[in-house]
């Protein structure tokens, strides 16, 4: 597979993530880049995690930047086939569902913390995450996304 930011669908999705983040939080996720392809590349290479899922009944991850792929120990192909609920252990899923409902109602939340699990079973706590609604150019719901810079592995 070529770099994700070279795919027109991923470029459009990256722009939608950044525009939705600005719309709901009032802040830029990244400084503006020269063009959409450059924005998509910079987002993918960012030194912090960005991940998103769609609006399916059991939402599937649609995007994860390089930091997310490394943290969840997945390839792009694996990540984009994964139901987002599987990024949390079973006991954490009810809290995760409450979080996503709050985001749906209010547009975004800041300062979320929770425990997640990688494909290989490594547990990690994320901290100070921002979670926001993703909408298309017409304002229709397209999913939800999260970004965070802080995490720590819990396993010895």
Helices 8-25 and 36-45 pack at an angle, to 10 degrees, of 80
For domain 4-153, the CATH architecture is 2-Layer Sandwich (3.30)
Nearest partner of 51 among 150, 140, 156, 145, judged by Cα: 145
- Tens-place pLDDT, residues 35-89: 999 999 999 999 999 999 999 999 999 999 999 999 999 999 999 999 998 988 7
Q: Residue 100 corresponds to which tokens in the numbers above?
A: 């996503």
Q: What is the pTM of this model?
A: 0.90
Query: What pLDDT, on a 0 to 100 scale, did the predictor assign at position 94?
Result: 74
Nearest partner of 17 among 71, 84, 62, judged by Cα: 62
Averaged pLDDT score across all residues of the chain: 90
CA distance 76 to 62: 9
Question: Is the confidence at residue 34, as pLDDT, over 90?
Answer: no
């Amino acid at each position: 597979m070529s770099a994700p930011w070279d795919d027109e669908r991923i470029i459009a999705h990256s722009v939608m993530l950044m525009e939705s983040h600005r719309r709901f939080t009032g802040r830029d996720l990244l400084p503006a880049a020269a063009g959409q392809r450059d924005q998509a590349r910079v987002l993918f290479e960012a030194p912090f995690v960005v991940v998103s899922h769609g609006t399916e009944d059991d939402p599937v991850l649609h995007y994860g930047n390089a930091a997310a792929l490394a943290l969840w120990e997945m390839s792009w192909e694996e990540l984009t086939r994964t139901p987002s609920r599987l990024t949390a252990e079973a006991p954490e899923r009810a809290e995760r569902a409450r979080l996503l409902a709050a985001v749906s109602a209010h547009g975004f939340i800041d300062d979320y913390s929770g425990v997640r699990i990688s494909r290989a079973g490594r547990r990690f706590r994320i901290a100070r995450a921002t979670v926001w609604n993703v909408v298309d150019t017409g304002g229709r719901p397209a999913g939800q996304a999260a970004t965070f810079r802080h995490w720590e592995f819990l396993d010895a």
